[in-house]
Structure formats: C-alpha cells, structure tokens
Amino acid sequence: MKLDAFDAALVRELQQDGRVSYQRLAESLGVSREAARARVHRLLESGTVRVVGIVRPWVVGIGAVAHVSLDVEGPGRPAAEVAAARPASSFVSCTAGARAVVAELRVADEAALEREFAVLRSAPGVRGIEVFRCTRLIRDAYSPATDPAGGPVVAPATDPGVGPEVDPRPAAGLAPEPAPAAAERPPAVDEVDRTLLGLLQADGRASFAALAERVGLSQPATRARVLRLLQSGAVHVTGLVDSRAVGVREAVGVGLTVRGAAAAAAVAVARLPGVNYVAAGYGRFDVVCGVDAGDRPALLATLDGLRAAPGVVRLESWYHLEIVKESYTYDLPV
C-alpha cells in the first residue's frame, strides 16, 4: 500500500512515539480522533506499518556487535542459511559485492563473538571472514536516536533517511549502539520489566490494561513501569514501515575507510540524504553505513556524496539481493 501525504504524516508521528494517543494524533494533524484512529488501524491491519518496541541491546546483555562479510566459494545461500540459523545473528543478506554474504552478530562479549566467528568459518563454501567491530553508533533510524556527537539520547531521530517523508526501516546488516557507561544506564530491569519489554516488542501499542493483565499487576503499576522503561531509554516504541510503501527500491550497505578520526567522518556522512544508519568502529572498515533510495539516480547521488565526504579515502558497497534474516528483537518472556 502506497502512503499518501496524510499517511506519511501519521507515520512520522508514530516513529517519534509509537504509543502516541489518538487524541494527540488528531490534534497534531488537524483531524478528528475517529479519523486518526481509523487511518492508524488501516496502516496496521494492511501490514504497511508495525508498531514495536526496540529494546536497547545492553538492556538484555548485548555487549559485542560485529558486521561480518563472508568470502564464499560457490553458492552463497548455504552459508547464509547457517548464519541465519544462529540466534546471535540479527541480519543476514546475500549480496552483489566483493563478498557473497554479510551478517550482523549481537552477543554478550568477545568470547561469544569468537565462537560465532568459528561457526561462520565452518559454513559451506566459506574461505574466510572479514570483520567490522562496531564501537560507536552515530545514526540509527529506529533504535533510540543519537546526537550528532554520537552519544546516546532518548529522543527519536527526526531527519528522515529516505526522501522527504519517512524512514522505512533500520539499515540492513549494521550494528546498534554500544553499552553506555554505567552511570548513564537506567536501573536494572527485573522479570516483570523483561516480560513487559517482550510484550512491547510484539505490540508496541498494547494498552496498559492488556499489559497489566499479562503481568499480573494493577493498571497504574503497569503504566508506571512502562513509562519508566520508556523514559530511561531501555526501550523505544516506534513505527516500522514497509519500505515499498515509501518508494524504496534500492538497499545498499557501504563500508568506508577514512583519514583521521573515524567518529568525525561518521558524523559528517550521517547528515547526507539517503543515509539511514552510520556506525564507527575498526577492522575491515572504519565506518559502516546503510543507504536506502527510491531509484538508481538517487542511490548514485548518495554514494557520490559519501565518496566526497570529509576524510573519506575509500568506499566499498554491497547491494542486498536477498535478505535471508532480519530481526531486531530479543528472546524475552511474553
């Protein structure tokens, strides 16, 4: 379903706050509450938009994230299926690029990361792997947004990654932000909190009454817990949009080699139109980006902008031919 201007305005509101009330939507968009409610229900029921809770990785013990490129001899699909079967993988894609398969891994620590590397090296046809280790998130379309300097904040991103309308989805195959310093973390979550997080992952707009029934607390107590989780940044409820609905036809990953500080170059490229994800780190690349575009000319313009960005000395891109796995949720009780 193609989004019209009113749908796009609704989606922007849902991306900023997936639990926004129908009354507030009506006031923001200048329509009746019933009209706002009906249009949101249509978007949800058609599958054009999903409202989900994006849980910060460190809340569930994710402390190491890597983007892995697999050098494969022969068909890439068997190796991609091995990678996709791993619970640690959040994204796996068969690509047209220097490497046949790319994958994102999210695990607890470096030891767990090494175990995942060993499995990937043993996958059918794999001759070797190349690793980008994420250390700093600069821009992410759906996780709690970051400020221009790369520090974690609670407010969502407002500058869209695709055209003038809305961000379609997280950039494929890239890493979330590393865990913040202990002083910046919200209070530890208990089992009730974890259950609430699991329920919000499945349905970000679940009512407080429905959530209360599932966790066995009163509605006011449940509301207080959910608001604490939201305000602390442990979870961000947002709208995930079918990329076809916003005209996205091209999805590309980009690795950059830069001169000087990687974080400074990453901040610069994060401002480019079409770039919906930027992470700084080390290994095969200094910066990894995600790019979405409506057509080839738009894609070419973004890639040229990346090549011309301050500090960038080399660019390598890979076209996502088939996304074998894409999951930004964690194994939480529901």
- The pLDDT averaged over each successive group of 10 residues in the chain (334 residues) is 83 91 95 95 91 87 91 97 95 93 93 97 97 88 43 30 39 40 61 95 96 97 96 90 65 95 93 90 95 90 96 95 87 76
Kind plus residue range of the DSSP H or E element containing 238: strand 235-241
- Using H for helix, E for strand and C for coil, what is the string for 86-141? CCCEEEEEEEECCCCEEEEEEECCHHHHHHHHHHHHCCCCEEEEEEEEEEEEEEEC
Which CATH number among 3.10.20.30, 3.90.1150.10, 3.30.70.920, 3.40.630.10 corresponds to the domain 136-170+244-322?
Answer: 3.30.70.920
pLDDT (0 to 100) of residue 148: 34
Q: What is the largest CA-CA distance in the chain?
A: 60
**Residue 283 CB coordination number (10 Å):** 17
Q: How many residues does the chain have?
A: 334
Whole-angstrom Cα distance, residue 126 to residue 77? 11
pLDDT (0 to 100) of residue 246: 55
Count Cα neighbours of 319 within 13 Å in the Cβ-side half-sphere.
9
pLDDT (0 to 100) of residue 250: 84
pLDDT (0 to 100) of residue 181: 46
- Class of residue 72 by CB neighbours under 10 A (exposed 0-12, middle 13-18, buried 19+): buried
Tokens matching residue 307: 């090549």
CA-wise closest residue to 176 among 146, 204, 201, 156: 146
Q: Are 62 and 134 in contact (CB under 8 A)?
A: no
Tokens matching residue 39: 């249009």
pLDDT tens string 294-333: 889 999 999 999 999 999 999 999 999 998 998 878 888 7
pLDDT tens string 108-131: 999 999 999 999 999 999 999 999
pLDDT (0 to 100) of residue 138: 86
pLDDT (0 to 100) of residue 334: 67
- Class of residue 161 by CB neighbours under 10 A (exposed 0-12, middle 13-18, buried 19+): buried
**Residue 111 CB coordination number (10 Å):** 9
The label of the residue with tokens 């995600």 reads 290
Instruction: List the domain boundaries for the chain.
Output: 5-47, 136-170+244-322, 187-232
pLDDT (0 to 100) of residue 153: 27
CATH number of 5-47: 1.10.10.10
pLDDT (0 to 100) of residue 218: 97
Q: Are 279 and 138 in contact (CB under 8 A)?
A: yes
- Rounded to two decimals, the pTM is 0.77
5-47 and 136-170+244-322 have identical folds: no
Which CATH number among 1.10.10.10, 1.10.150.110, 3.20.20.10, 3.30.540.10 corresponds to the domain 187-232?
Answer: 1.10.10.10
pLDDT (0 to 100) of residue 137: 80
Helices 33-45 and 5-16 meet at what angle, rounded to 10? 90
- Pairing mode of beta strands 312-326, 287-293: unpaired
DSSP state for residue 156 in the 8-state scheme: P
